[in-house]
Amino acid sequence: MRKVLVTGAKGQLGSRLLECVHPGLQVVGLDREVLDLTDSDSVDSALQAHLPDVVINAAAYTAVDQAETERDQAHSVNATGAEILARACAQRGVDLIHISTDYVFDGTGSRPYRPEDSPRPIGAYGASKLAGERAVQAAFEAAQAGWWVIRIAWLCDVRGQNFMQTMLRLGRSGKALKVVNDQYGTPTFARPFAEALMNLAAHPHAAARGVHHYSHLGQTTWHGFAQAIFDFHGLEVNLAACSTSEYPTPAQRPAYSCLDGREFARLIEQEQRDWKDVMASELKRDQQEN
């Protein structure tokens, strides 16, 4: 039985990780109050108290727009915090699965990004996450333990405060909506991603140490994603498309964000499904459970 410690346990991904039931794993989750990535004493005490075999780092500063004016805070969690955690794990021989993002890329690509493609972040959040990836790699350079940086794009869930819930609320309000139609990505759901991470935690030899990409199949725009949500719920919404320039945000976002997750899916033996199929099964499961 391997012991998994999940950081950022109250977050979108962290909470799904804690719900995963895996026969070969014992899971403990800690939120920021107990394990603060930016505080090396709290990281050391948590590792000492729980003695995990593997840590899944789901904690991060994720406010993409705010990061433009809070660069230090974003860097402190996503880069320095990742480094503190990685060094502590490497020194103790604890494996680390660290989560990163498509925002390390500039979005000028035209085919799904592969792990070996050159990153070039265009915003403060992406830059802080890339610095975190590099800190993890450096900390484990001479270590025996395993490290994996798993990038994901457009992480979403059928519950919680996120794009899906916002669109449903706005769609039900009866107001006309305009949603961006020139940013492309693959909505990727937190529950199957959490299950994939737990598979890796249970079978650390499945994938080589290094950077991997996780993704469902297919691509859409935020507008296409919104329409699919309305279609599923049978909502007739006055939905128009707009360009990114018509909807300016403090942070520039990559225009193309799809990740090529074929290799990682093969390694962890999880079938890749179209994002719309995953959305439908997640929504149905949520309706049955609630």
Ligand X SMILES: NC(=O)c1ccc[n+]([C@@H]2O[C@H](COP(=O)([O-])OP(=O)(O)OC[C@H]3O[C@@H](n4cnc5c(N)ncnc54)[C@H](OP(=O)(O)O)[C@@H]3O)[C@@H](O)[C@H]2O)c1
Residue 282 to residue 220: CA distance in whole angstroms: 18
Are the C-beta atoms of residues 38 and 76 closer than 8 Å to each other? yes
Is 164 a residue that touches ligand X (CB under 6 A)? no
> What tokens appear for 86 in the block?
């990685």
Are the C-beta atoms of residues 162 and 12 closer than 8 Å to each other? yes
Is 43 a residue that touches ligand X (CB under 6 A)? no
Interacting residue with ligand X among 4, 5, 6, 8 (CB under 6 A): 8
Is 101 a residue that touches ligand X (CB under 6 A)? yes
Q: Least Å distance between CB 23 and ligand X?
A: 25
Question: Looking at beta carbons, which residue is closest to ligand X?
Answer: 11
Site string for ligand X, 104-143 (x = CB under 6 A): -------------------------x--------------
Is 271 buried (19+), middle (13-18) or exposed (0-12) by CB count in 10 A?
Answer: exposed
Is 201 a residue that touches ligand X (CB under 6 A)? no
77 or 228: whose CB is closer to ligand X?
77
DSSP H helices, 123-221, are 124-139, 163-172, 190-202
Is 23 buried (19+), middle (13-18) or exposed (0-12) by CB count in 10 A?
Answer: exposed
Return the range that interacts with ligand X (CB under 6 A); candidates 4-12, 215-223, 264-272, 281-289: 4-12
Is 81 a residue that touches ligand X (CB under 6 A)? yes
Interacting residue with ligand X among 60, 158, 201, 259 (CB under 6 A): 60
Say whether 61 is catalytic: no
Is 192 a residue that touches ligand X (CB under 6 A)? no
Closest by CA position to 95, among listed 2, 11, 28: 2
31 or 235: whose CB is closer to ligand X?
31
Interacting residue with ligand X among 89, 155, 200, 265 (CB under 6 A): 155
Which long-range contacts link 168-173 to residues 24+ away (Cβ below 8 Å)?
168/229, 168/233, 168/235, 171/226, 171/229, 171/230, 171/233, 171/235, 171/237, 171/239, 172/235
Is 259 a residue that touches ligand X (CB under 6 A)? no
71 CB neighbour count, 10 Å cutoff: 14
Is 38 a residue that touches ligand X (CB under 6 A)? yes
Residues 61-80 that bind ligand X (CB under 6 A): 61-62, 77
Per-residue burial over 150-182, b = 16 or more CB atoms within 10 Å of its CB, e = otherwise: bbbbbbbbbbeeebbeebbebbeeeeebebbbb
Q: Which of 125, 184, 214, 256 is catalytic?
A: 125
103 or 240: whose CB is closer to ligand X?
103
Is 56 a residue that touches ligand X (CB under 6 A)? no
Residue ranges in contact with ligand X by CB under 6 A: 7-8, 10-14, 31-32, 35-38, 58-62, 77, 81, 99, 101, 129, 152-155
